[in-house]
């Protein structure tokens, strides 16, 4: 199981770092948000399954990629999430939950790694300010999910969108 998990974690880490890198050049703003949050969810979920393995799998090169690309990715997500979230409906419930968890995983884990790597306090502060926009997205999704509770009698959630929740902690109460 451990080597299988290690392979999954490496693939998820690489997908997350690729999504961060792509945020610099991608012109499709929804794709940036989607790719970062989808990869962030999977990477965070797998890291939560085995923290020691997650630390063992993290390399100095990964840290350099994170340090270089995280600020722009955060800025892109914070600036571009609103139209996508605004178009979500009850059918998108699992995607909304996944995105809330992605933001939380990134905040609780990846952003802490970034903060420990970035020595320039002004850059860290700028990322923290941009992060407020990302966190506002999570608040908006939580509000929508609460509103959708009254829609359930005539509309249905798309069960095909339900993700693997193994590794998602109880603190992600929206599940």
What is the Cα–Cα distance from 137 to 61, expressed in whole angstroms?
30
| Confidence (pTM) | 0.91
Which residue, chain included where needed, has tokens 């997350």? 16
> Per residue of the chain (175 residues), what is the pLDDT tens digit?
578 999 999 999 999 999 999 998 888 888 999 999 999 999 999 999 999 999 888 999 999 999 999 999 999 999 988 888 989 988 899 999 999 999 999 999 999 999 999 999 999 999 999 999 998 999 999 999 998 887 766 677 888 889 999 999 999 999 9
Closest CA to 88 of 167, 141, 44: 141
Residue 49 tokens read as: 């399954």
**Residue 44 · residue 105 · CB < 8 Å:** yes
Taking residue 48's Cβ as centre, other Cβ atoms within 10 Å add up to: 18
Tokens 């989808």 map to which residue? 38
């Amino acid at each position: 199981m451990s080597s299988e998990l290690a392979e999954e974690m490496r693939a998820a880490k690489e997908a997350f770092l690729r999504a961060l890198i792509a945020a610099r050049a991608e012109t499709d703003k929804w794709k940036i948000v989607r790719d970062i949050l989808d990869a962030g969810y999977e990477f965070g979920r797998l890291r939560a399954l085995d923290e020691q393995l997650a630390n063992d799998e993290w390399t100095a090169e990964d840290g350099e990629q994170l340090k270089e690309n995280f600020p722009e990715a955060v800025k892109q997500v914070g600036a571009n999430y609103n139209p996508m979230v605004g178009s979500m409906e009850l059918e998108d419930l699992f995607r909304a939950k996944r995105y809330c968890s992605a933001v939380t995983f990134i905040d609780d884990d990846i952003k802490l790694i970034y903060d420990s790597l970035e020595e320039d306090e002004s850059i860290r502060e700028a990322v923290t300010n941009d992060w407020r926009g990302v966190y506002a997205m999570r608040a908006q999704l939580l509000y929508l999910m609460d509103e959708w509770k009254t829609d359930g009698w005539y509309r249905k959630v798309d069960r095909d969108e339900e993700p693997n929740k193994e590794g998602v902690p109880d603190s992600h109460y929206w599940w």
